[in-house]
Amino acid sequence: MYRSHNCGELRIADVNKEVTLAGWVQKSRDKGFMIWVDLRDRYGITQLIFDESRTEESVMQLAKSLGREFVIQVKGIVIERESKNANIPTGELEVLVKELTVLNESQLPPFTIEDETDGGEDIRMKYRYLDIRRNPVKNSLLFRHKVTQEVRNYLSNLDFCEVETPYLIKSTPEGARDFVVPSRMNPGQFYALPQSPQTFKQLLMVGGMDKYFQIVKCFRDEDLRADRQPEFTQIDCEMSFIEQEDILNVFEGLTRHLLKNIHNIEIEKFPRMTFDEAMKTYGNDKPDIRFGMKFGELNAVAQHKEFPVFNSAELVVGIAVPGAATYTRKEIDALIDWVKRPQVGALGMVYVKCEANNQYKSSVDKFYDQADLAKWAEATGANEGDLILVLSGSANKTRSQLSALRMELGNRMGLRKPNEFAPLWVVDFPLLEWDEDSERFHAMHHPFTSPKPEDMHLLDTDPGKVRANAYDLVLNGNEIGGGSIRIHDKDMQALMFKHLGFTTEQAQEQFGFLMNAFQFGAPPHGGLAFGLDRLTAILGGQETIRDFIAFPKNNSGRDVMIDAPATIDNTQLDELSIMLNVKG
């Protein structure tokens, strides 16, 4: 037995016990006649003491040779510490070592294995197995485990059945780019890694499984950022004989269950907002409702004066920043520079300071009098002491720009508090969206999403106005889950493929297996998928998912620890019947 207790287990009640511990050397303090060693494992730290008056000389000499991250085993007696440490659970005791065994030596680590480390992100990713020993990463992985177990418990108690679906599937043209896998046994043909188990979970509903879930890896070959990885994990769910309200209730219940069991936070009912309302009020379809600054449209009160910038704009819209009328011109200019960055793309910004006694000071005083500006304040909900910030231009682009500014101000002003949780359902998404490059409609979610029955008549005449039976669950300004009621009728699915530009032959070639299945009694069904990485990060008070993934990729999609992706030798290429023609 390597250990009788772990390094976070012993307490003052264990004094005088003989114990065996094993772990890594966190640090060592050698005072000559006495040596203290902090021994660490996953569970915590226990202080060891080597005392020349009570420890054999050979053990003392071996203790002097210990370096950081040596793996050791000790046997000794639990004693009460003279100098107690209230910051750790084992801080009232230490182990007087009688026997010491070095199980493995360690080179000097390339960065300190401490909560606050001197290692940059690149070096920590290269030595990720060392980074995992640090409490912030270790605790994030343990937190993810807890979230995952709570999800499994909740869904299993509702009679959901966990079913695995294949990783080697068929490539489809919708959505992001696929990762493809060559087939040695079928030269010139390729599998694709699944972007989601979408069609398989629908087939499980045809198969009568009724309630399915899977915590599953998914893959998308797309540009990366803080909350995106090429491989990610979904909590994938599907249900039969349900309507939209059934799904919203089940998965609102799951989110409430997680908030209650992890943070002891109770939220009775999640608010709901249509897609159109979210775009008009917040400029995006995943608004953070932990703070205000709702959009106020100003076309009616800002156009048709003498200010040509507003008169030529499709949309003039503003927000009221609470308490920001005290901003200096330098601070306001910095905000203007921020929105003019290429990442945001605004050409400029107008401001109004709401001062005492209903007085307004604006960058466009030349064109608007006090009565005009009072109407701006009314439209944006601005009060005395607030700062109104106004953008204009094409509607979609301007809303996106003002949304980015609102979120930036929320961060700067400390309004996006990680220990506050504000869930929101966004419903009634458009079924289709127009793509300028391909000059055709694409499914906003995926081709299997059912349209609202009351909008069906618009499919032939005005398809852009058709709403989908689709919904997203938003938490703190992040989409954590989304889904839809599916099409379960073969003729309706064929009609959808037609509106998406598929010929009958193309639809049959790529999705024939699903349409064929619909001929054998497909039940009404729908579902939802949560992004487990993102959900866990937000519940953990962060928005970056990387520390909640054991072995993440960097922003170039590389695993710098194992140096992947990498070239393969010609023998493997020949077996796969592949000839490389690398461009650039």
Can you tell me the distance from the alpha carbon of 23 to that of 43, in angstroms, rounded to the nearest whole number?
Answer: 10
Can you tell me the distance from the alpha carbon of 517 to that of 413, in angstroms, rounded to the nearest whole number?
Answer: 54
533 is in an annotated binding site: yes
Can you tell me the distance from the alpha carbon of 540 to that of 478, in angstroms, rounded to the nearest whole number?
Answer: 14
> Containing H/E element for 63?
helix 57-64
174 is in an annotated binding site: yes
Q: What are the structure tokens assigned to 557, written together?
A: 């999609």
Q: Report how far apart, in Å, the C-alpha atoms of 179 and of each of 10, 168, 170, 221, 231 are.
A: 49, 10, 11, 6, 10
220 is in an annotated binding site: yes
288 is in an annotated binding site: no
229 is in an annotated binding site: yes
177 is in an annotated binding site: no
Residue length of the chain:
584
133 is in an annotated binding site: no
188 is in an annotated binding site: no
Provide the terminal-to-terminal Cα distance of the chain, rounded to the nearest Å: 57
Can you tell me the distance from the alpha carbon of 226 to that of 218, in angstroms, rounded to the nearest whole number?
Answer: 17
Q: Which amino acid is at 372?
A: D
276 is in an annotated binding site: no
Can you tell me the distance from the alpha carbon of 466 to that of 453, in angstroms, rounded to the nearest whole number?
Answer: 9
Candidates 252, 250, 244; CA nearest to 159 is 250
> What DSSP assignment string belongs to 460-494?
TT-GGGPBBSEEEEEETTEEEEEEEEBP--HHHHH
> What is the maximum span of the chain, computed from C-alpha positions, in angstroms?
93
Cα angle 527-460-467, degrees, rounded to a multiple of 5: 35
40 is in an annotated binding site: no
Cβ neighbours around 234 below 10 Å, total: 23
- Residues contributing to the annotated binding site for L-aspartate: 174, 220, 445, 486
- Residues contributing to the annotated binding site: 174, 220-222, 229, 445, 479, 486, 531-534
- Residues contributing to the annotated binding site for ATP: 220-222, 229, 479, 531-534
